[in-house]
Amino acid sequence: MGGSKRYEEQIEYFKEGKTSHRKSDSLSVYADKDRPKELYSYNTPIAFEDKDGKVYLNKGKYSQTTSVQQNVIRGKLNPEELSTEEFEKKRKGLYN
């Protein structure tokens, strides 16, 4: 399965609120009732959904792989894009 197709599959898990983190995947979904849904590129959070269902994307520059993942997220989830600093501040606010 090609990279972007595999990422699209992970985004579907994200939409459905299903956790998916296989060692072979660079894009992982973490979702359970006690925390917001999040997408991680490797070990870096790059997107999350707040309690109102709004999706936020960390638009920081990382690897080429992460850039491809960010572009798939843009196309599938229409997120609000935030700088890394803004993203982390908003994300941390969800846990307080």
**Is pLDDT of 85 > 80?**
yes
**Is pLDDT of 63 > 60?**
yes
CB 72 within 8 A of CB 4: yes
For 40-54, write each residue's pLDDT tens digit: 999 999 999 998 999
| Higher pLDDT among residues 22 and 8, named by residue | 8
Q: Using CA atoms, how far apart are residues 34 and 72, in angstroms rounded to an integer?
A: 26
Q: Using CA atoms, how far apart are residues 68 and 70, in angstroms rounded to an integer?
A: 5
Q: What is the CB neighbour count within 10 angstroms for residue 28?
A: 20
Model pLDDT, residue 96: 65
42-27-24 Cα angle (round to 5): 80
Domains of the chain, residue spans: 3-90
One-letter amino acid identity for 4? S
